[in-house]
Amino acid sequence: MPSLNRKKPILAFFCNWAPYRCYMDLCRSESSFRHLIYPVKVMCSGRVDPAMVLFAFEKGAEGVMVLGCKDKECRYGPGPKQSTKIAEPIKALIHILGLESERFRSVKYSFNEKNRLLEEIDSFAKTVDKLKKSPFVP
């Protein structure tokens, strides 16, 4: 995988169901992202391994988001609980690497929350913009 070599890139792991639908609805609408987002569609946010997040930082991501379904809306059952369970260890691991825990965020969505998704991505990107440049960025 080549490095993410643009200004302040954010990698976003989208669950295939509600979050990705919100993302696609935003892409089709007149709304636009004001920040550089690299979307990665996964079948379930609970399947995002901490190693995947660390690899994204190693390749130059300034921030990583995991966007999953809400608890009662998951098609795979324990997915949202699993993604919540791995969020704190991920924050601890990136802190050990010398990165700020604010560079990672995990959020859950319903199918009809495209505006909330846009606001959340914008808020996260503004938080990442305020941080100093990652030491892993080439």
* Domain-wise residue ranges, the chain: 10-130
Q: Are 48 and 11 in contact (CB under 8 A)?
A: no
Give pLDDT tens digits for 78-131: 888 899 999 999 999 999 999 999 999 999 999 999 999 999 999 999 999 999
4: pLDDT confidence band, cut at 50, 70 and 90? low
Mean pLDDT of the chain: 91
pLDDT value, residue 1: 44
CATH architecture of 10-130: 3-Layer(aba) Sandwich (3.40)
Is it the case that residue 3 has pLDDT exceeding 70?
no
The predicted model scores a pTM of 0.91
pLDDT of amino acid 6: 53
Terminal C-alpha separation, the chain: 14
Structure confidence at residue 30 (pLDDT): 79
What average pLDDT does this structure show over 46-61?
Answer: 95
pLDDT band at 51 (very low <50, low <70, confident <90, very high): very high
Helix (H), strand (E), coil (C) string for the chain: CCCCCCCCCEEEEEECCHHHHHHHHHHHCCCCCCCCEEEEEECCHHHCCHHHHHHHHHCCCCEEEEEEECHHHCCCCCHHHHHHHHHHHHHHHHHHCCCCHHHEEEEEECCCCHHHHHHHHHHHHHHHHHCCCCCCCC
